[in-house]
């Protein structure tokens, strides 16, 4: 028994030493890199066409502020940040190279401050972290691209010309977005979509999705592959919901002015049906409320 306990202690000690080595950038890949890790970086907004942020094991929070430069700052955790300005692109890379499960308790935190009069592109891609983009109704951007692999992604309260938001597993929350075109997709996990104005393309593969609309004044395309989805439709408006399904079920308690079910299809009309909500289902369960 004592021998077993001793072996366990040795094994734990070895794991701890390996973990320390992996977290020490000077002993591994960072020692061969010319990049210099920093805790703060900034770029003048008038020189930047795109803010490009990539994350690995990092939390990020984006907020608007009355300022003349785009600012990024590491505010917590054990991660490292690298930043450079290449032409009109301000590139920021934040990563946590912690060892295995220890990294879960030491995620770095990145605070990004964007000038309220910055009207160009924002791109954020990340994995195993938390991304929060809140424009507070003060950001009006050009192209916004947000992609997350695991973790949580929240995007709310901003306007843009084009928006692309994609999440794989984890939790996706998107609300109060005003864009000419939006492409939002979720694969597994849970997605909550609310009050998206403008043309919307929505996609879901497995998982659970809830989409709520205050108004429908533009076309909506929804492609659903398995999982369950609930669409909360507005009380008033002029729209037509058209469902085509290979299999699965459609449950509608919404009070359409006219509803028709034929074979594998369903059509429900409210008002004059001017705006089409086109839904294609491969399988799964759909509720219209």
161 CB-contact burial (10 Å; exposed 0-12 / middle 13-18 / buried 19+): middle
> What is the band of 219 on the pLDDT scale with cuts at 50, 70, 90?
very high
Predicted local distance difference test score (pLDDT) of residue 179 = 98
How far from the centroid of its chain's Cα atoms is residue 5's Cα? 45
Length of the chain: 289
Predicted local distance difference test score (pLDDT) of residue 29 = 33
How far is Cα 30 from Cα 26, in angstroms, rounded to an integer? 6
User: What average pLDDT does the segment 83-100 reach?
Assistant: 86
Does 34 score more than 70 pLDDT?
A: no
pTM: 0.85
> What is the band of 69 on the pLDDT scale with cuts at 50, 70, 90?
very high
Predicted local distance difference test score (pLDDT) of residue 57 = 86
User: What average pLDDT does the segment 123-137 reach?
Assistant: 92
Predicted local distance difference test score (pLDDT) of residue 185 = 97
Q: Show me where the domains of the chain are located.
A: 49-57+116-288
Non-local (6+) Cβ contacts of 200 within 8 A are: 182, 184, 218, 219, 220, 221
Does 32 score more than 50 pLDDT?
A: no
Non-local (6+) Cβ contacts of 86 within 8 A are: none
Predicted local distance difference test score (pLDDT) of residue 31 = 31
Query: Pick from 221, 131, 123, 225: which is nearest to 164 by CA?
Result: 123
How far is Cα 242 from Cα 247, in angstroms, rounded to an integer? 15
> What is the band of 101 on the pLDDT scale with cuts at 50, 70, 90?
very low
Does 102 score more than 50 pLDDT?
A: no
Query: Pick from 144, 102, 100: which is nearest to 119 by CA?
Result: 144
Does 113 score more than 60 pLDDT?
A: yes
Does 98 score more than 70 pLDDT?
A: no
Does 20 score more than 70 pLDDT?
A: no
Predicted local distance difference test score (pLDDT) of residue 181 = 98
What stretches of the chain show up as alpha helix (H) in DSSP? 2-23
Radius of gyration of the chain (CA): 23
Mean pLDDT of the chain: 88
Query: Hey, CA dihedral for 118, 123, 125, 131, is it positive or negative?
Result: positive
Q: Tell which phi-psi region holds residue 20, choosing left (phi > 0), alpha (psi between -120 and 50) or beta.
A: alpha
Does 8 score more than 60 pLDDT?
A: no
């Amino acid at each position: 028994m004592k021998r077993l306990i001793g072996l366990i202690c040795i094994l734990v000690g070895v794991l701890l030493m390996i973990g320390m080595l992996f977290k020490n950038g000077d002993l591994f890949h960072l020692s061969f890199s010319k990049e210099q890790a920093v805790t703060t970086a900034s770029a003048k907004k008038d020189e930047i066409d795109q803010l490009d942020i990539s994350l690995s094991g990092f939390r990020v929070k984006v907020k608007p502020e009355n300022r003349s430069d785009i600012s990024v700052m590491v505010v917590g955790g054990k991660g490292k940040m690298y930043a450079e300005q290449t032409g009109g692109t301000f590139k920021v890379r934040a990563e946590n190279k912690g060892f295995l499960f220890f990294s879960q308790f030491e995620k770095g935190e990145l605070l990004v401050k964007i000038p309220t009069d910055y009207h160009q592109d924002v791109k954020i891609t990340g994995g195993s972290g938390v991304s929060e983009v809140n424009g507070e109704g003060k950001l009006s951007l050009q192209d916004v691209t947000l992609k997350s692999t695991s973790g949580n992604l929240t995007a709310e309260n901003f306007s843009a010309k084009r928006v692309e938001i994609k999440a794989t597993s984890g939790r996706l929350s998107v609300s109060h977005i005003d864009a000419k075109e939006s492409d939002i997709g979720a694969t597994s996990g849970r997605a909550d979509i609310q009050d998206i104005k403008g043309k919307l393309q929505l996609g879901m593969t497995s998982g659970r999705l809830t989409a709520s609309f205050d108004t429908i004044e533009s076309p909506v395309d929804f492609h659903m592959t398995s999982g369950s989805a609930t669409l909360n439709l507005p009380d008033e408006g002029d729209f037509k919901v058209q469902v085509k399904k290979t299999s699965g079920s459609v449950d509608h308690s919404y009070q359409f002015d006219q509803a028709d079910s034929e074979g594998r299809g369903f059509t429900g009309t409210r008002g004059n049906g001017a705006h089409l909500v086109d839904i294609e289902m491969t399988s799964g369960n759909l509720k219209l409320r």
